[in-house]
Amino acid sequence: MTLVKVQKLTKTYGKKTVVNGIDIEFGHHKCVALIGPNGAGKTTTLRMLAGLLKPTSGSIYFESQNKTPDIREFIGYLPQYPAFHTWMTGREFLTFSGKLANLSKEEANKRADELLKEVGISREAQDERISRYSGGMKQRLGIAQAIIHKPKLLILDEPVASLDPIGRREVLILMEKLKEEMTILFSTHILNDAEEISDELILLNDGKVIESGKLTELRKKYQTTVIELQVDDDITKYVDRINNLQAVLNTKIERDILYITSDHLNNARKEILNLVLTENWPVTTFSINKASLEDMFMKVVNS
């Protein structure tokens, strides 16, 4: 069942079109990644979905919108750079957020206690001032305030972009857990994160959706294979011979490793090994890896 449906969503500033007629939809209990390079229109799209920015044209429909015109009831939102009252404690901030979301004092206190535990902020830290929190703790606290009212859709703009590896891991684990309770739509240009926790992807470039769908289906559609080849010699001597093979799409050299891309693994493997054996190349490494989401994204963008 569809939770959110977007049709022909457009945002222009003067003569500049930032989001250009995008159509997307997704259902319940999904983790959807909105990916694309900086300037692709990700933040503008999320702000329109969150009701913080009025579209120039197009429509946004939420499943329960016929019950009330105020979509904020269904949405939790955390911007890329959240602001906190750092003189407050974590518990005070969440209780305050709950009251802003029309919870009673008793409900706000109860919900704050539940969420502090859920997002992994220790009992000791709950009553410390937010100014003492690490980046990861602040981000988890920010997610807690975004879901204080139990929204159906949680929107996160670049939730781990500014975090260190520990903080990033903490937030990704939390997102993986939260998608059991709600749908998560998050933007990122870190493709490994999207690959790790997403069920569906929306690929945005120059304000347009260039591809979307389930991660498994997109992998199948665009999947290529990368073969790594190392020799006990100058690898550049062998590049032209590899590039002339019919099953090879392209090659690149990084740190004396030749990366060979093909969308016909069996043919490429056969052709390369035949060449290696026939010409007695001094091969030290021959390994096969599936192409990453980054490889797939570059293929879609450049097609």
Which domains are delineated in the chain?
A: 2-213 (3.40.50.300), 223-301 (3.30.70.920)
Task: Let me know the angle formed at the C-alpha of 32 by 28 and 38, rounded to the nearest 5 degrees.
Answer: 150
Q: Round to whole Å and give the CA distance between 300 and 208.
A: 13
Per-residue DSSP letter, 73:
G
CA nearest to 6, candidates 20, 17, 18, 285: 20
Contact criterion met (CB below 8 Å) for 219 and 200: no
Q: Which residue has the tokens 């199948």?
A: 220
Residue 303: its pLDDT value, please?
A: 66
Length of the chain (residues) = 303
Per-residue pLDDT tens digits for 102-158: 999 999 999 999 999 999 999 899 999 999 999 999 999 999 999 999 999 999 999
CA torsion 156→158→162→168, rounded to 10°?
70
- The model carries a pTM of 0.82
| Half-sphere CA count of 14, side-chain side, radius 13 A | 1
Classify the C-alpha dihedral 60-62-63-64 as positive or negative: negative
Residue 96: its pLDDT value, please?
A: 95
Q: Round to whole Å and give the CA distance between 159 and 185.
A: 11
Per-residue pLDDT tens digits for 194-238: 888 999 999 999 999 999 988 888 877 777 788 999 999 999 999
Residue 216: its pLDDT value, please?
A: 81
Residue 69: its pLDDT value, please?
A: 65
Query: Is a pLDDT exceeding 90 seen at residue 8?
Result: yes
Longest dimension (CA), the chain: 79
